[in-house]
Amino acid sequence: MGSDEQIDPLHQVTKYCGNITDYCQTYLKDLAYKEDKEEHYGKPMLWIGMYIALASLFCNLAMVADLLHGLRNRKLWFPCNYFTLNAASLTVIAVAIKLPNDLTNLMPSHVDRTAKLGSLSFMCTMMANLLPSLATLESKELVSNMIALGILVITLVVNVCIQINTGVLSYNTSEEHFKIEVGYTQLGVLLTGPKFIATIYVAMLLMLLIIYACSSLATLKTKQILESKYQAAHQTALKDLELPQKGRLTVEKLKQHVRNYWIMAGTGSPQFITVCSATTSASGVICLISTALHVYIIIPYHTKDMKEYDTDYKWSMLVILIIQFIGVILGTLAPISRCFAALSFKLSEKWIRNHIKVFNVESYWTQKLYDWKQRSIPIPFSSPSRRGKIVIENIKILFLSICIEFLETVVVACKMIAVIPLLFLICVSYCWKRLKAMFSSSRSVLVKNPEHQGKGDSLYVLQLEDDTEFAERTLKGISKSVNRLIQNAEKKQPNNLIKLLKGSRGFEGVEKFDSPLVPSLRSEEYVNCWSLPLVTLTAIAISFRNISKNTVDGLLSGVSEGLFYVTRVEESLNATDDHEYIQKVAKTLWFEVEIRSKWLGNKLPKPEKTAGQILQCLRDTSRNMVTKVGSMKNDDSKYRSISANSMYRITETLLRSYHENIDRVSQEDLLALLSSMIADILAACLTNLPLLITTKCHAKEIEKREASVHEAAQILGQTAQIITNLKDRELPHLNEDELAFIDKWRANLKHP
C-alpha cells in the first residue's frame, strides 16, 4: 500500500474537523449577533414598562378622586365623576393592560408572572368601578363606548387564552416559584398555577362584559321611565311654587323648592338607579373575588422572588406590579361600598322577603329587546324576495328571543350573587340593633320617627317600580344632604358684594348710566346686557389715582363677586345669540380690567389728572377707537368697537350730566356716583336670583339634573341674604321673563 493512500484518510478527517470548526464558529458568531440584536431591541422595553406604569397611575388617581368626591359629599355609593367610560379612559386602560396582551415575552420569574396576572385583576377592578358611568352616557355614546369596551375586553381574553395554550404564562413554572396551598402535588400545582388563575380572570372578565351589556340595555329603558316620572313630579313642583305675586319668592320657599328637586334629581339619577341594580351588586362581588385572588398570588413563596425580574421590562415590572396592586386595593372600595349601599337603600323586611323568595326580572331589563323584536329590519332598495324577508325576520326574532332568555338568566344570577352581601348586611344590621339596645339608656332611642319625612317629600321620589320604596333612612339622608349643602354655602357669603349693594337705594342707575341723547358711534345697533356696563363703569372707577388702594380693591372684589351671579343670570335667562356675543365681549373685557388693570390695551389708572380730564380722555380714546376700527370686519374689531362704544356713551353721559361743572367735581364724588350706579345695576340684575334658582333646579337633560340642582342649592345658600334684602323693593311693571333683560328695565323706567 502506497504512502499517499495511508495519509488520505487522516487528511480527510482533518479536513472534516476543520469544516466543523468553521461551522461552529459561524454559528456562534450568528448566535452572538442575534443576542446582540435582541438586547438592542429589548432596550426600549424598560421605558415601555414605565409608560404602562404611568397609565396605571392615571387610572389609580381617577379612581381615588371618585372615592374622595364620594366621601366629601357623603355619597357612599360613589358616583363616577372623574373615572368615566369614554374614549380617553379606554385609551389609557388599553395602555395599562399591555402586559397580558403581550403574546411573546416569557414571564419566568414570580414578579413577571404576578405582574401579568395582576393586570387582569386590575382590569376587573376598573370595569367594576366604571359600571355606573354607563348611565351618564347618551344613547349614541353608550353604543359606541360599549363596542369599544367589548373589543378591548374580547381582545384581552383572546390573547390570554393564546398564552395559556402556548405556555407563555407558565414558562419555567415550578412549585418553588408559585405559592401552593395543597402541597407539592399535581392537583396543588394545577389549582394554583398561572394557567388556572388566568382562566379564572378570563371568566370574570367575560362575566363583567356580559353585566355591562345587560346594564346598557336596562339604562336605555330606565331613562325613559325616569323621564316620564320626573315630568309628572316637575309639574307638581311648579304648582307648589305658584304665588299670588310673582317675583316675591322667599328664601324659605326657595329652599323647599330646591329640596323637592334635590329629591327628584337624587332618586332619579341614572347613576343612582344603576348602583341600586342587581348587576352592580354582582360586579362588586366579582371585584372582591378578583382582589382576594390577586392578594393571594402576589405573596411570594420565597422573599427573594420579589427581587427577580427576568424579562426585557427589567425593574419596571416591579413598578407596574406595585402601582396596579395599589389600584386593585383602592379600586375595590367603591364597588364593595356600592354593593352594600344599594342594598341598604331599600333594606326593609318586606323587600328582603320579596328579594329572597322570588328572583323576578323587572320589565325594564328586557323591554328594549322586546321593542327591537317588534320592529322591522330596514332593508335597502335591492331587497330580497318575500321569502327572504320572512327568513330574515324569523332569524331576527329567534336571535332576540335567545338574547331575552339569556339576559333574564343573567339578571337572576346577579340577584342570586347579591344575596351574599345581603345576608352579611342583615347580620351586621341585626348585631348593630342589639348593641344599640344593650347600650341605650332608653327604649325610645330605637323608635323611628315616622314624621321626619313629610308626605310632600314622597311626591318627589322617583322609582322604576311603583310597588317599591326607599328605606326611610335613605330619604332622610337625601334631605339632610341638601340642607347641609345650603348651610355650607351660607358660610361663603359674597361679603364684598353685599357691602357694595348697600350703596343702592333704588334702580336709578339702570336708567342714568347711558343717556338716550348721546348718539351711538356704531352704525349698527346692538342689544345691551347687564355685565358690559358694569365692566365699563368699573374701568372708569379704577382710573382715579387719588382714591385709596383699599377702596379700589373693595370695589373690584365686589364687582367680581357680583359678576359671578350676573353671568349666571345672563347665561340662563338671556340665552339669545345677540346677548351671548355681548356677554362674551364683557367677559373678555373684564379679564383685562381686573387682571391687567387695562382697558383695550390702555393702561389704568391714568396719570395725575382731574376727574373731568380722565372722563374726557377716556371718551376721546374710545371715540377714536370706534372710528378707527369702523371699516374693519374681523372679530377683534367688532369686540373693540362694541367695548369702545360702550365706554364712549357712558363717559359722554357723565360729562353731559355735570355740564360745565365737571372740572369742579372731585374724584371721590365721581367714584361715589359710579359706585351707586354699579350697585343699582347689580341690584336690578340680582332681583332675578329667585328665577335663576328655580330655572337651575330644572334641567332638560337627565344626565345634568343632579349637577344643576347642586349649583342651584349653592347659589341659594350664598345669596340668601341678598334675596332677603331685595325682596321688598318695588320692581318695574314687567313680566317675570322680561325682568332678566336690562333693555326692558330701561324702557320701563323711562316710560313707567
Q: What is the mean pLDDT of each run of 10 residues along the chain (752 residues)?
A: 50 57 60 51 74 95 95 89 94 94 78 90 96 91 94 95 83 45 43 80 96 93 91 88 63 92 90 90 94 86 56 85 95 90 63 58 90 76 69 89 94 88 76 70 40 59 74 77 91 93 89 86 79 94 85 92 95 86 92 89 74 88 81 74 91 86 83 93 94 92 90 95 90 87 89 70
Query: H helices of 243-277, where?
Result: 251-267, 270-275
Are the C-beta atoms of residues 277 and 216 closer than 8 Å to each other?
no
Can you say whether the dihedral through the CA atoms of 701, 703, 706, 712 is positive or negative?
negative
Residue 602 to residue 539: CA distance in whole angstroms = 11
Scan for cell 357712558, then name that residue: 650
pLDDT for residue 628 = 78
**422 neighbors 355 (Cβ within 8 angstroms):** yes
Q: How far apart are the first and last CA of the chain?
A: 144
- For residue 44, what is its C-alpha cell? 426600549
Q: How far apart are CA 457 and CA 472, in angstroms?
A: 11
Is the C-alpha dihedral spanning 554, 558, 561, 567 positive or negative?
Answer: negative
Which pLDDT does position 346 carry in this prediction?
62
Amino acid identity, position 32: A
Rounded Cα distance between 483 and 708, Å, is 16
Task: Quote the pTM value.
Answer: 0.83
599 DSSP β-pair partners: 602
Quick one: pLDDT at residue 449? Answer: 41
User: Which of 118, 75, 100 minimizes the C-alpha distance to 163?
Assistant: 100
Three-state SS letters, 556-612 = HHHHHHHHHHHHHHHHHHCCCHHHHHHHHHHHHHHHHHHHHCEECCEECCCCCCCHH
- Report the distance separating Cα 194 and Cα 117, nearest Å: 8
CA angle 396, 400, 401 (to 5 degrees): 115
How many Cβ atoms sit within 10 Å of the Cβ of residue 168? 20
Distance CA 7, CA 630 (A): 111
Q: Rounded to 5 degrees, what angle do the CA atoms 68, 70, 72 make?
A: 65
Alpha-carbon span 121 to 198, nearest angstrom? 10
Give CA–CA dist 92/63, Å, rounded: 13
C-alpha cell at 547: 382714591
The pLDDT value recorded for residue 714 is: 95
DSSP secondary structure, 418-477, as one string: HHHHHHHHHHHHHHHHHHHHHH-S-GGGGS--TTSS-HHHHTT---SSTT----HHHHHH
Give the whole-angstrom CA distance, residue 336 versus residue 746. 59
